[in-house]
Amino acid sequence: MRYALIIAGGSGTRLWPMSRASQPKQLIPFVGGKSLLQLAFERLDGLVPPERRYICAGRQQAGAIHAALPGLSAEQFLGEPTGRDTLNAIGLAAAVIGQRDPEAVIGVFTADHIIEPVGEFRTIIDRGFSLAERRPNTLVTFGITPTAAATCYGYLQLGAPMDETARLVGQFKEKPDVATAEAYLAAGPQRYLWNSGMFVWRAATLLDCISRYEPATFAGLAKIGLSWPTPQREAVLNEIFPTLKKISVDFAVMEPASRDAKVRVAAVPMPVRWLDVGSWPAFGETCARDANGNTLGTERALLLDTRGALVASSDPRHLVAAIGCDDLIIIHTPDATLVCRKDRADAIKELHRQVGERYGKEFL
């Protein structure tokens, strides 16, 4: 049967001060009154029944996630004792779901994307499910057509056609420098696609790959999976999960799999509008614009002689007023305000670290 896993464990530090430990970016209702997690869950309608959709996130987010998704059962929430990167989040789900259904085919999605049109997304994901169902030894990923020489995404180097819907992946290319990204963009989408971070595979196939590439991690996940139906579940999870090697599924599985004759890595092109809402400039792309090119994430803003600014507030009653603040990011929350040049948005992650060092967890 088909299952879905939504990874919702990101901390969203580049969206500080609105994204906090108590309400990370995927739970903030800042896209038409809905959170990114809610949008990700709804996008799966017609693909996977709600009762077979799982969420993996930090254990401390359980209450907020169940509030955002009231129909989600306790069994559908996989709470991590601590974050150990995507291999272990995805491996945990494969171990748990695979223990219940050895024939499970799992689609993996993230909770920080905006994807349009949704109908096209569903059609393409269905192709990925069908490919994994027809070819059990295939790891399916989805490639986004690059629109810029981005250095913040990984790239898929495409090989020969696998069928009418997919291409073999010759190699995974991690986040490149500017010159390399420009070369990838110039080569065109028939050669390079952005790595979307979405996958489809059989649980058994993924676990077999983990057993060969990361045997120590597989051994730990296998113990957790066996314990899941028993009263020892939490004790085993708490003991083993924090000890697992912290590594992404791209490095741990997808890269070695692309060189492994026992499996095939296939990319299904996904020509949709895909936005990874991982920073304030990216968030600005979801907002309305005024005549001066300012992007507004709040209904109450008065901007005089200001162009190209981004303004957002977590309080719909709060008025943000600015004069002559071209190309600034201005974010208001009840206890912290961020003012930053747009071209320095990447430094917010470092600012977040220093806020924690100076003021402790109060503002994190």
pLDDT in tens, 308-360: 999 999 998 999 999 999 999 999 999 999 999 999 999 999 999 999 999 99
Cα gap 134→92, rounded to integer Å: 24
Q: Which two tokens stand for residue 114?
A: 């905006």
Query: Where is the domain boundary, 276, 303, 321?
Result: 276
DSSP string for residues in 189-234: TTTEEEEEEEEEEEHHHHHHHHHHH-HHHHHHHHHHHHHTTSTTHH
The pair phi, psi for residue 129, each rounded to 5°, is: -60, -45
The pLDDT of residue 57 is: 95
Same domain, 288 and 268: no
Q: What is the pLDDT of residue 23?
A: 87
Question: 304 and 246 in one domain?
Answer: no
Residues 175 and 314 in one domain: no
Tokens of 9: 């464990």
174/274: higher pLDDT? 274
For residue 212, give Cα distances in angstroms to 215, 217, 225, 262, 349.
6, 10, 18, 11, 35
Verify that 57 and 169 share a domain, yes or no: yes
Are both 259 and 302 inside the same structural domain? no
Q: Which residue has the higher pLDDT, 354 or 112?
A: 354
Total Cβ atoms within 10 A of residue 259: 10
Q: Which residue has the tokens 């040049």?
A: 341
**Does one domain contain both 12 and 117?**
yes
Span between the terminal Cα atoms of the chain, in Å: 40
Please check whether residues 121 and 236 belong to one and the same domain. Answer: yes
Domain that holds residue 231: 2-276
Q: Does residue 180 share a domain with residue 313?
A: no
In the predicted structure, residue 47 carries a pLDDT above the cut 80 = yes
Q: Looking at 276, 305, 334, which one is the last position of a domain?
A: 276
**Are both 205 and 157 inside the same structural domain?**
yes
Predicted local distance difference test score (pLDDT) of residue 30: 79
DSSP β-bridge partners for residue 341: 328
Cα torsion angle, 169, 174, 179, 181, sign = positive
242 residue type, one letter:
P
Predicted pLDDT of residue 129: 98
* Residue 281: CB atoms within 10 Å: 15
pLDDT band at 276 (very low <50, low <70, confident <90, very high): confident
199 near 138, Cβ under 8 Å? Answer: no
The total of other beta-carbon atoms located within 10 Å of residue 364's CB is 18
The tokens describing 293, both together, are: 């090119």
Are 70 and 34 within one domain?
yes
**Res 70 pLDDT > 90:** yes
> Do 254 and 317 have their domain in common?
no
The domain tally of the chain equals 2
- The enclosing domain of 191 has a CATH number of 3.90.550.10
Tens-digit pLDDT profile for residues 228-271: 999 999 999 999 999 999 999 999 999 999 999 999 999 999 99
Domain boundary among 227, 244, 276: 276
Read off the pTM. 0.91
Q: Do 164 and 74 share a structural domain? A: yes
- With contact defined as beta carbons under 8 Å apart, do 206 and 90 qualify? yes
- What is the model's pLDDT at position 278? 86
- In the chain, at which residue ranges do the beta strands (DSSP E only) sit? 2-7, 53-58, 77-80, 105-110, 113-116, 138-144, 155-161, 167-173, 192-202, 264-269, 273-276, 288-289, 295-297, 301-304, 310-313, 320-323, 328-332, 337-341
